[in-house]
Structure 1
């Protein structure tokens, strides 16, 4: 066992930049403890057990997680019986909400923090398996003097993350011992067991939460396909991905050369974008078929075994009524499956004071959704929208934060309230947040952390209380990696993410055309009617500019219409000029191209570089 003094000195040397032979996750955690949490390795902290009332709150909130995970914990505990291991299931805040261990050692386990109610968040306990796993989202071994706090250096702890179906960390599963062999490699089997159990808990959670969806189980070999697959995907009736076992699917994605994508990026995508199948192909992967018939090919050529489970729909029992969405959110779509998922999630989040990041292509309606969230939760106060890309860089500071009287040359002698202060008591919507100058991101972070804003040139800060909604068409995580967006601000804004589908992917395009046209009629005090040919052109277009492009096209068409009738001659010219890569030619050419691809619409779409929905629209139009 290493001495306390030598352990403290090693951590201090690492903090000063010395090279250490320890694993990278350990070094990274030590540096977070020193630099971010300001922990002192010389000050030992006893394990912290939350008060009974607080523990009850954590367990109530994790009730379903505990129920789903219990069988996995019991199976794992039976596997390691007699080896003095303790199992901890911690919630996303690091508090142990379920526990299995030898009651003979209760007093020792409680003192060491290997007990129900112990909190192992990194900022409280220092480097530990649960805390490091919460930060990294990866399985980790923190063995003996890997621990930051000297009171924990006798322990060996191994943990794996458990993600929910949408990719958020929901729990950490930990397997620990009070005493163990000195060699860290002695815990490799524990790492394998805890990661496998976490994967099974994710699968059980996916099956529980997606009873009305297809579930596609995936494995590299057929032996355990139906009982212990490598990963699983939930699919709605249109074949779009609604959920994943994120730990297992992430490993498969790396095998498919998709390592640059987050598992969240697959949500809402058609299954045909990942594998060479459509939703209509799923029945042939159900049980009863031979393994040779249940082979699935990924887009990169990787072959996997697949097992499909049909939705568990009981036709004899009435379908429970879905909770009614607030009017503001309900009016955003009409029967599009991807949008309905966004609306349902937004309705749940709207009632909580949680920062929301809205992702989507330019013009896809991010501000409409943000405004609907504010209105839908009965939000009082103003909704203040700020386009960070539209305000000149030299003005954005004074526009956001305001300024004191005479703060700079040309400033008003009365000063000016900034947009952040204008939004106090309501909601601040920061559109295209990825374009905010790096220097101002730190000031915005302070506003969000301290709930106060200091105008330019002012000596005192002013208190503000507001909800922050932000949006971007750019990949903020990539900007963080490039050093162009602050990581701490990214995590502050990205408590929850809503991803809007592009207009070309939506199933309610006809309804949207009618809604936007009705809005133009109200603005112009006139009545318009689309003839059949003009509507067909609108429905066949891919709309790279999304709702904004559609709205502009309808405004032009209304202005050019004769007697309120919008025909093809009223539509903008660009709607008739398709890109060369997407132009299949006349009807015969399209049908021949489809025949050449074995009548596989997915294969033809990939060959032409367009979506399957585009091919279907063109076939329908030609017919």
Structure 2
């Protein structure tokens, strides 16, 4: 019997409830693949590499994580040199955002999916180390035919989770080989190394984010207290826990006989509830005393060695309580009061599967907000965006719902999985929902009310579990009055509404300009500067196209720039003509303004805040 056939039959036996010699994490993952993701073990799928534009998006969102984790990856890669290991750092959605491997094997690694941009989410790749780690939050070895998909059974993959300071899984570190010894025990050292490196990345992240907090490092032995502690916690000025290295502290919590509590349950607790000290004792644990004398006793009686690092700014009095927004939502604005209200409301909604309707002008960032909500919710499924106005009406039903094999003339004999089903376990974002054909609105309503989907031509409906976020620049209530949008669907979609401000109304426009400029820099791998005149024009413009218009203007400006300098020559003329048009009686006013400046074009340009060439062009038109 072939390896693939025996593998398939073993999975079928597990599905029928038969006992299996496999590790429990493997069995549970196989069952999820069959029951939750509806994957077919008889259909081998090649490794999936996300398109370049999607990879850039994932890497942008993980930029700080990549920077913090890079030294940890390099250290681990040096430890396993000559062993043909590949290191993958994936984000919480299973997409590889950083990678280290022998470049002489690039073609083989890319084909196997051990490469930058590969997606190893369980719903797409089946049982794999990254996907299983994302779901379980635990280190895991998926060795050879532990993999669900037969195309991956030559690989051995070992992964460990990386949590942020608040306990949310933010990344997975994976160490893999194309070929390895048959015994799964051969990867125990790899498991130890990858877990230790993940712990170090968590520590580096904590130290980066807690400059205004105390940090208390903890270790079971004094020798590694200051160089490689087992765990660390951050504390505010009143001695309450504000963050921690969750992987390491979880292990210590088990040593302290603390069971049944997630590490995030410690957030907000006073230090004195966990250890026999309070905030005033922390200076006694700072450097200056021998490590062996810095002993700390847990409430359980466990004795640890501790090292305290004082905040950069001393916080001896309790700070006012501050809502901690998830990173994805926090990065949407800086200092705009309207956006801050939207972000706070979105953060509360993100933890619940409540349908959300986002309203705002075209280009105001509705998809950015929807994706941030998805990234903040902790779900492991995909974010699937559907522009209801962009799909031709005769295709939208099959695109959304999929179809069974041979469902209609021209249909694929293999059938097709619809976009709604792709979002199972994650978030379905329906952009421009007001443009959905009326005939399909009733089918969508059934999906939302029954939590099931029936592909075209299928005999049975399939259960699904997803979050629905919809968006429109149109007034849906008015469409309901006009009979163009179902009233029952409208009330189903807008259980909660978030309204985005237009760009011209935002108080953080200068910050947004720099954020989008930085994005263009990453796309082009070049640096750009915006001079004062150009920035003034960007700030003065009304931006009817909102973020989309601003992004396009900056991309064109970058392409036209010389030596990375974006000046007024790089921007559309209409941005500057607005300043001149603001003068009453334009032609006469311009001539008079020039006379007032002693016929000095440079002086007039400075006065109007425009470039000299703009004045010259305008004067030329006036002869």
CA contact 2:85–2:175 (8 Å) conserved in 1? yes
Mapped contact 2:237–2:318 kept (Cα < 8 A): no
Q: 2:494 aligns with which of 429, 452, 466?
A: 466
Q: 1:278 to 1:450 in 2, by over 3 A?
A: closer
Matched, 1:59 2:87: no
Separation (CA, whole Å) in 1 of partners of 2:189 and 2:157: 12
In the TM superposition, what are the counterparts of 1:113-152 in structure 2 within 5 Å? 113-152=113-152
Aligned equivalents of 2:350, 2:467: Cα separation in 1 = 20
Find the aligned partners of 2:325 and 2:259 in 1 and give their Cα distance: 29
3-state SS in 2 of match to 1:296: strand
With over 3 angstroms needed to count, the CA separation of the structure-2 counterparts of 1:123 and 1:345, relative to structure 1, is closer
Which of 321, 342, 345 in structure 2 is aligned with 1:339? Answer: 321
Check the 8 A contact 2:142/2:158 in 1, yes or no: yes
Matches of 1:188 and 1:109, distance apart in 2: 22
Aligned mates of 2:240, 2:277 — CA distance in 1: 12
Counterpart CA distance in 1 for 2:88 and 2:40 is: 26
Which residue of structure 2 aligns with residue 211 of structure 1?
A: 211
Q: CA RMSD in A?
A: 3.4
Matches within 5 A, 1:73-84: 73-84=73-84
1:406-430 deviation line (CA, Å, top 9, x unaligned): xxxxxxxxxxxxxxxxxxx9xxxxx
Q: After superposition, where does 1:469-508 map in structure 2 within 5 Å?
A: none
Task: Give TM-score, length-normalised by structure 1.
Answer: 0.55
CA shift in 2, pair 1:87/1:2, >3 Å? farther
The secondary structure found in structure 2 opposite 1:54 is: helix
Give per-residue Cα distances to partners, 1:380-406, cap 9 Å, x unaligned. xxxxxxxxxxxxxxxxxxxxxxxxxxx
Between the aligned partners of 1:6 and 1:44, the Cα distance in structure 2 is 14
Query: Corresponding residue for 2:173?
Result: 173
The secondary structure found in structure 2 opposite 1:339 is: coil
Deviations, residues 558-588 of structure 1 (Å, cap 9, x unaligned): xxxxxxxxxxxxxxxxxxxxxxxxxxxxxxx
1:531-563 Cα shifts (integer Å, max 9, x gaps): xxxxxxxxxxxxxxxxxxxxxxxxxxxxxxxxx
Determine the structure 1 residue equivalent to 2:241. Answer: 241
- What secondary structure is seen at the aligned counterpart in 2 of 1:75? helix
Residue 47 (structure 1) aligns with: 47
Q: CA deviation at 1:292?
A: 3.7
Deviates more, 1:261-270 or 1:173-182: 261-270
Question: What stretches of structure 2 of length at least 5 have no aligned partner?
Answer: 331-339, 352-358, 367-432, 434-447, 453-462, 471-485, 498-623
Query: Deviations 1:39-74 (Å, cap 9, x if unpaired)?
Result: 000000000000111101111110100000000000
CA deviations over 1:349-408 (Å, ceiling 9, x no partner)? 85458563799xxxxxxxxxxxxxx9xx9x9xxxxxxxxxxxxxxxxxxxxxxxxxxxxx
Aligned position for 2:254 = 254
Partner of 2:393: none
Q: Which runs of 5 or more residues in structure 1 are unaligned?
A: 316-334, 360-373, 380-424, 426-439, 453-458, 470-623
| Distance in 2 separating the partners of 1:186 and 1:447 | 38
Q: What is the CA distance between 1:2 and its match in structure 2?
A: 6.9
The superposition leaves residues 159-208 of structure 1 with CA deviations (integer Å, 9 ceiling, x where unpaired) of: 00000000000000000000000000000000000000000000000000
Matching of residues 84-99 of structure 1 within 5 Å: 84-99=84-99
Retained in 2: the 8 A contact 1:2–1:145? no
Q: Residues of 2 paired with 1:98 and 1:467: CA distance? A: 39
Cα displacement (A) at 1:258: 1.2
- Number of matched pairs: 371
Question: Could you tell me how far 1:138 is from its partner in structure 2?
Answer: 0.2
Residue 268 of structure 1 aligns to a residue in which SS? coil
- Mapped contact 2:223–2:291 kept (Cα < 8 A): no
After TM superposition, the score normalised by the length of structure 2 is 0.55
Alignment of 1:417-436 (within 5 A): none
Aligned partners of 2:235 and 2:243 also within 8 Å: yes
Q: 2: CA distance between counterparts of 1:295 and 1:225? A: 11
After superposition, the C-alpha distances for 1:15-62 in whole angstroms (9 at most, x for unaligned) are 111110000000000000000000000000000000111101111110
* Structure 1 residue 341 displacement after superposition: 4.1
